[in-house]
Amino acid sequence: MADPTPDPTELTGLVQLADATAAEVRAYLSSVTEVATGRMDSTALSVLLLAVSQTLVTGARLGAVDDIVPARRFEPDAGPDPDVDPVRASLANVLEGLDDYADVVDPLTNAKLVRGALSDDLASVAADLEHGLRHHERGDVTEALWWWQFSYLSSWGLRATAALRVLQSLLAHLRLDVDAETASDAEFDALHP
């Protein structure tokens, strides 16, 4: 029979992972909330690209570790679900004209195209991350890690990945799509210093 006492090294590693994840979650929530205020203007897409990218690194770390199994067989009540609708609506306003995109249901099992919305993705990720953060703030490390890992694999990882692709595409179009005359002038200037 296995010893039910957790290995102190393993427990320390889980606490460190949970603390690092919580810090990244707070950074993501802060960035998305700040962009939603509408005060960022031209830096908003870059800030979102960085926030989503960093959050996906955190998620990949969670996805790479063995399944985290909490001691209890049920999730303790973390309180009411976070109300991300105001952030979602504000992001939709900030991203007006850029929000909607074509998405694939599942690239492996269902290649059907559906409508996606960047504001929906960013807010959905925020809701999942905040749910785990409430467990962490109550000191329930394994429950927080379980929630973040499970929801990364089942929902927020997919939504964040879609958001990242859209943000990268938006930035590429904004920076690379220039009219022919501007491109010709830049090419001439580069070739004739």
Residue 82: the pLDDT is 73
Pairing of strands 100-106, 110-117: antiparallel
In which band, very low, low, confident or very high, does the pLDDT at 2 lie, cut at 50, 70 and 90?
very low
> What secondary structure does DSSP assign to 75-103, as a single string?
PPP--SPP--HHHHHHHHHHTTTTSEEEE
Point out the least confidently predicted range of 6-20, 24-38, 69-83, 88-102: 69-83
Q: Which helix (H) or strand (E) holds 106?
A: strand 100-106
Between 158 and 74, where is the model more confident? 158
Range ranked top by mean pLDDT from 12-16, 127-131, 137-141: 127-131
- Per cent of the chain over pLDDT 90 is 60
Task: Report which of residues 184 and 174 the model is more confident about.
Answer: 174
Predicted pLDDT at 193:
58
Average pLDDT over residues 57-68: 91
pLDDT of residue 144: 93
pLDDT averaged over the chain? 86
Calculate ∠ Cα 137-140-145, nearest 5°: 95
More confident residue, 72 or 130: 130
Instruction: Give residue 190's Cα distance to chain centre.
Output: 39
Averaged pLDDT, 94-100: 93
**Can you give the pLDDT at residue 160?**
97
pTM for the predicted model, two decimal places: 0.82
Q: How many CB atoms lie within 10 A of CB 170?
A: 17
Residue 4 has pLDDT above 60, yes or no: no
Tell me how far apart the alpha carbons of residues 145 and 141 are, in angstroms, rounded to a whole number. Answer: 6
State the residue for tokens 């203007």. Answer: 41
Say how far apart CA 161 and CA 155 lie, in whole Å: 10
Closest alpha carbon to 45 in 27, 53, 87, 158: 53
